[in-house]
């Protein structure tokens, strides 16, 4: 049987053991393992990577601990605007959504966009209208509410500040880049990537990060790899991170590990871009690479590997 692999992330940043109670740490581990299992079950039955990454990300979107779907952060207007992207490596098809509201699972809307819209990226009200047309599950604003993120927004809602998902205090260094993602290789040799986020607390002006942009926060190509990113989006946009990993493999002949480390531990660091990525290649190798203090992450393979981690 051909090898298959899935890897996931739930955000990166200053994630220290001192910041999490044992109960909360366990909850994160359970959430990550549940997402891994959701995608792995599809792969082990001979299913496709595109379906596996969606299943994993849906699990994370439905978990209030993560900044995507339920539990997304608040914008400056006190609403939830979500971004997501889905891509498959066989034909380089992709679907992406930006600034969408009410959609329970933005990653599933990406699939509808990819298959039925004739476009790649839809945004705002237009994306909302398409979601209605496709019969997507829409929920009221209070479904996405979490007290933690509401209180976080209350602290800065009348200021020009924004927060990168979690922060111990407005002036302090502690932060987490809240995005979720999954990458997978199936037994058919196809890779796929999925990424979803609620963005930044108190974001304004229709700000978009890297998560919804093909080749930056999310990319998949059967010639090379699949990549899902998490970090300070502005720096990832400037560095074209996901595609850069693929390019180093395709045109420089680098292996997955070296390509990921070149981008995350060298190129991003030089411009003070903090965060990380997960990646899988067509050999079934995976990387969980980050330059921050921690990254919620995990991987599971047909070789029997099952890992879940939080700290560096």
Point out the catalytic residue in the list 179, 201, 224, 301: 179
Place of tokens 């792969």: 43
Q: Are 293 and 265 in contact (CB under 8 A)?
A: no
By CB atoms closer than 10 A (0-12, 13-18, 19+), residue 56 is buried
Nearest to 75, CA basis, from 104, 96, 109, 98: 98
Bridge partners, residue 122, by sequence = 97
Residue 195 designated active-site? no
Q: Are 84 and 60 in contact (CB under 8 A)?
A: no
Q: Give the integer Cα–Cα distance in Å for 138 and 19.
A: 34
> What are the beta bridge partners of residue 312?
none
In degrees rounded to 5, what are phi and psi of residue 107? Answer: -65, -30
Give the residue numbers marked as catalytic.
179
């Amino acid at each position: 049987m051909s090898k298959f692999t899935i890897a996931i992330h739930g955000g990166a940043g200053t994630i220290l053991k001192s910041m999490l109670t044992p109960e909360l740490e366990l909850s994160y581990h359970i959430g990550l393992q549940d997402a891994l299992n959701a995608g792995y079950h599809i792969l082990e039955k001979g299913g496709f990577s595109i379906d596996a990454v969606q299943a994993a990300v849906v699990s994370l979107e439905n978990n209030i601990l993560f900044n995507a779907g339920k539990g997304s952060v608040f914008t400056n207007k006190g609403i939830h605007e979500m971004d997501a992207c889905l891509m498959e490596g066989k034909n380089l098809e992709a679907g992406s959504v930006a600034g969408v509201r009410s959609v329970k699972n933005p990653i599933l809307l990406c699939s509808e966009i990819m298959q039925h819209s004739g476009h790649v990226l839809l945004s705002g009200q237009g994306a909302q209208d398409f979601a209605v047309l496709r019969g997507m599950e829409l929920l009221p604003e209070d479904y996405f509410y979490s007290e933690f993120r509401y209180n976080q927004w209350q602290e800065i809602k009348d200021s020009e500040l924004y927060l990168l998902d979690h922060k111990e205090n407005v002036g302090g260094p502690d932060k987490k880049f809240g995005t979720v993602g999954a990458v997978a290789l199936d037994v058919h040799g196809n890779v796929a990537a999925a990424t979803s986020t609620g963005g930044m607390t108190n974001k304004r002006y229709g700000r978009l990060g890297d998560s919804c942009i093909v080749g930056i926060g999310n990319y998949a190509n059967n010639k090379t790899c699949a990549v899902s990113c998490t970090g300070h989006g502005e720096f990832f946009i400037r560095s074209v991170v996901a595609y850069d990993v693929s390019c180093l493999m395709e045109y420089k002949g680098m292996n997955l590990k070296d390509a990921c480390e070149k981008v995350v531990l060298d190129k991003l660091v030089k411009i003070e871009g903090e965060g990380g990525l997960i990646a899988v290649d067509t050999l079934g190798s995976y990387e969980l690479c980050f330059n921050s203090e921690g990254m919620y992450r995990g991987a599971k393979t047909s070789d029997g590997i099952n890992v879940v981690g939080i700290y560096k």
